[in-house]
């Protein structure tokens, strides 16, 4: 944590081991060193496409609220379905990590946000085991769950007033954290459009979102 307090950039060569960092990049553009080293593990968390889109829409509009280029939801849905996204097509992004996680289960842990909400104890214990650091007792697990709760993180002073860069406030990363919020924003037509493309893209993969 001290490393990130000193610099917002990631210089992996100077970070002490074990290193922990997050990215949004597609699997195919990861360096071979990350893909092939046995002691480098990947935890991938995905989410229902409709909730993902709403979360992204709120995030971008939150950071552009002083500007005049707020994106209407209808337009964002169109772009999303066409695969126009800063990190590439969302469903292809998810499928790449899903397929690789099946080939290399010891290397890549594939998680769903919904499962983390339904049974956080089970999923966090799964993460600890995957990292080779299983919990010794229930109390330690409860401590981690408490420290990682959305409400606690949301109310930390650094997340209420700090920022990564001048135009991205830390508070933008913490909203509702609920499952199914898309129902409060999308029309039946939008829902149908997203469900159709999701079903088409995931067909035959064994993955359900």
Q: Token match 């919904």: residue? A: 114
Query: Long-range contacts for 138-145 (Cβ within 8 Å, ≥24 apart)?
Result: 145/120, 145/121
Give yes or no: 24 in active site. yes
Is the distance from CB of 182 to CB of 50 less than 8 angstroms?
Answer: yes
Record the tokens describing residue 138, joined without a space: 């229930």
The one catalytic residue in 10, 22, 24, 85 is 24
The DSSP letter of residue 164 is: E
Record the tokens describing residue 81, joined without a space: 């379905």
- Alpha carbon of 201 to those of 32, 86, 160, 197, 206: distances in Å? 26, 19, 38, 6, 11
Is the distance from CB of 164 to CB of 170 less than 8 angstroms?
Answer: yes
Give catalytic residue positions. Answer: 24
């Amino acid at each position: 944590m001290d490393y990130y307090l000193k610099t917002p950039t990631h210089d992996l060569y100077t970070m002490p081991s074990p290193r922990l960092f997050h990215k949004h990049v597609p699997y195919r553009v990861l360096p071979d060193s990350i893909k092939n080293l046995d002691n480098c593990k990947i935890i991938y968390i995905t989410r229902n496409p409709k909730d993902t889109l709403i979360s992204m829409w709120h995030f971008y509009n939150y950071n552009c609220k002083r500007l005049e280029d707020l994106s209407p939801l209808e337009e964002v849905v169109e772009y999303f379905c066409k695969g126009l996204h800063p990190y590439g097509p969302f469903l292809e992004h998810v499928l790449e990590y899903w397929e690789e996680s099946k080939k290399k289960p010891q290397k890549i842990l594939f998680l769903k946000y919904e499962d983390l909400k339904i049974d956080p104890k089970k999923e966090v214990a799964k993460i600890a085991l995957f990292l080779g650091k299983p919990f010794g007792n229930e109390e330690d697990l409860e401590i981690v769950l408490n420290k990682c709760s959305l409400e606690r993180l949301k109310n930390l002073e650094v997340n209420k007033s700090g920022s990564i860069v001048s135009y991205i406030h830390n508070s933008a990363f913490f909203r509702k954290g609920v499952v199914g919020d898309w129902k409060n924003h999308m029309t039946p037509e939008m829902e149908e459009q997203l469900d159709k493309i999701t079903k088409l893209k995931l067909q035959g993969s064994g993955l359900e979102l």
